[in-house]
Structure 1
């Protein structure tokens, strides 16, 4: 691998230098033809924002709210639990799955109704069950937003109907989506095109078709959520997977949201490729004079989405923080390798020891010989 050769060849002042760094943003397009007022593209695995347009602007988000509703419910409940529908969940304004008061329905089914049909009644039923009340659940939503570092996000309800202090941003929604898509249950729900579930008290079943056309329009489409209110206009979070790599897009106030999303997904897949920057077991120099007692190696691999131009603007900076003379066996963490792209930190990996020091080996032999001598004596 070309990077490995550089690691061995260019060691200057404790820093492995490939090429001078430039701004990461310099390789992003100044403009993509989008109808969206704000947009963002994210690589789901790494969390790297690949494209942004007014991505930090606080905006109304409509039913994209339900991404947070779903992940909070999944993480805080058993999906097999039966939810008894309270009167407050019946007849909520907007999209509905037509819940009836007193109806008992598995939480899992409510989540499908929430994400496929955008049921506002499902959102309230989930909130009352998981949070004890709508207010209690919304507290959990905002708590989660704070935990995830979503600084331009605040919720007032679990469904996304317009409210003064209910907003998010394209970047925050991208990061929330990347987080949620790592949950297998969430991922399964949002990628489902049709779901059929029993309808208590009726002779037929509920059959829910996903409103998200991206599942059918875009090859590899596997999520996530549509939204609309009169004030927010059309909002959409889409995701797709190609050759094992998943990308998600966010468009806010986008009259042509389907076209915008397809254009953004294509941009992400075409202009960025996942590159392995460090290989598990790859050896690093200690920077010390003479031979270190043990090899210092990467504890895991590190891959990251890069443009073609960025591949030659990578630095890997190892920093040893543990006295190497004390590390006499394999697996001791002795430092960290920080990875930079165009001068900006993008990740880090632990550095560990591999092998055994001569002192340890000879010590083991002396122990064995002493044991044999004692037995013969």
Structure 2
């Protein structure tokens, strides 16, 4: 068989096999997910692993975001600082207006503990101290924040400070905040901090320790909740980013200027888990019918039932040269939803060492 015929046959078989698999995903007929709404000025809901935006209302509109800013502050500090390094509180941090953990001038605390104060109690003094420690100055740290926003493709976001107090030119959008939170939640240190309900931290001034209770009530009121951050200023009003994990799927919800945010977030998350569960399109090692190769990785994607018929696949072969070919890689299987690429996985020979090594 010629190479061209082999490729055509392989692609056809792979597509047919995938469609047969997907036919079992929607028993009882397909349906469209019902609409949902919130009281928010802007809102978004995203599947964290895939980055798929499941719901958006005014999602790309720049808005004041209050202490949701601290999501970026925390992840930049984690990535650029040392968690066991000691942060010394300077003059600009002491007595910072708004929410506070009441740091004293010259007080030292590990960056790790300072981040708990930042995210659980929304300490504006902690934000300033962290910024000066990690960035050399508050201005230097804000530069790192905007640099990170550009790297993540947050095109409707601009930071002017590390704490979120109202300032002209300081804004983000619901969709950008969902992308930012999804990115940050993949960092184990960030995820551990924002999922903590209560944190005890050594107090250098007294015999008793600081005890910080998380302001995020979703952690106690919603099954599977594991983050992320509250926010409020007189101009931004109530803001909230929450996350939750159920059945191996993590979702992140965002609302800005929402007077009923606790209720809206529960409804958004329920709607997402109910109508866009993760569907398995391939398992690692799964044979591809008609050819000898197998799927090199699992592939799961959030889909509502009516979307199963819109899934297509395409097999792309790699040249028969190079180290990865020698190790048994033969190409990749690309997945499309209604013509748009949603992901891909490698295709290996069944005895490939890449299969056992995880690719």
Please, what TM-score do these two structures have when normalized by structure 1?
0.82
User: How far, CA to CA, are the matches of 2:254 and 2:327 in structure 1?
Assistant: 42
Match of 1:331 in 2: 327
Do structure 1's residue 56 and structure 2's residue 52 form an aligned pair?
no
User: How far, CA to CA, are the matches of 2:39 and 2:337 in structure 1?
Assistant: 31
User: How far, CA to CA, are the matches of 1:55 and 1:123 in structure 2?
Assistant: 26
In the alignment, is the contact (CA less than 8 A) between 1:235 and 1:252 conserved in 2? yes
In the alignment, is the contact (CA less than 8 A) between 2:11 and 2:314 conserved in 1? no
What does 1:212-223 correspond to in 2, within 5 Å? 212-223=216-227
Match of 1:158 in 2: 162
Correspondence for 1:318 among 315, 319, 323: 315
User: How far, CA to CA, are the matches of 2:192 and 2:123 in structure 1?
Assistant: 18
In the alignment, is the contact (CA less than 8 A) between 1:329 and 1:355 conserved in 2? no
User: How far, CA to CA, are the matches of 1:193 and 1:285 in structure 2?
Assistant: 49
Match of 1:305 in 2: 302
Do structure 1's residue 258 and structure 2's residue 289 form an aligned pair?
no
Q: Secondary structure at the match of 1:64?
A: helix
User: How far, CA to CA, are the matches of 1:45 and 1:297 in structure 2?
Assistant: 23
In the alignment, is the contact (CA less than 8 A) between 2:127 and 2:163 conserved in 1? yes
In the alignment, is the contact (CA less than 8 A) between 2:10 and 2:315 conserved in 1? no
- Cα offset for 1:135? 0.8
What does 1:239-278 correspond to in 2, within 5 Å? 239-278=243-282
User: How far, CA to CA, are the matches of 1:327 and 1:133 in structure 2?
Assistant: 47
- Cα offset for 1:316? 1.1
Q: Secondary structure at the match of 1:161?
A: coil
Which whole-Å deviations, capped at 9, do the CAs of 1:228-273 have from their partners, x for residues lacking one?
Answer: 1111111000111112221110001111111110110000111011
- In our comparison, the structure showing a higher alpha carbon Rg is 1
User: How far, CA to CA, are the matches of 2:325 and 2:335 in structure 1?
Assistant: 26
What does 1:40-189 correspond to in 2, within 5 Å? 40-189=44-193
- Cα offset for 1:10? 10
User: How far, CA to CA, are the matches of 2:324 and 2:193 in structure 1?
Assistant: 49
Structure 1: segments with no counterpart, 5+ residues: 1-8, 20-25, 287-291, 357-377
- Cα offset for 1:222? 1.1
Aligned length: 334
In the alignment, is the contact (CA less than 8 A) between 1:332 and 1:353 conserved in 2? yes
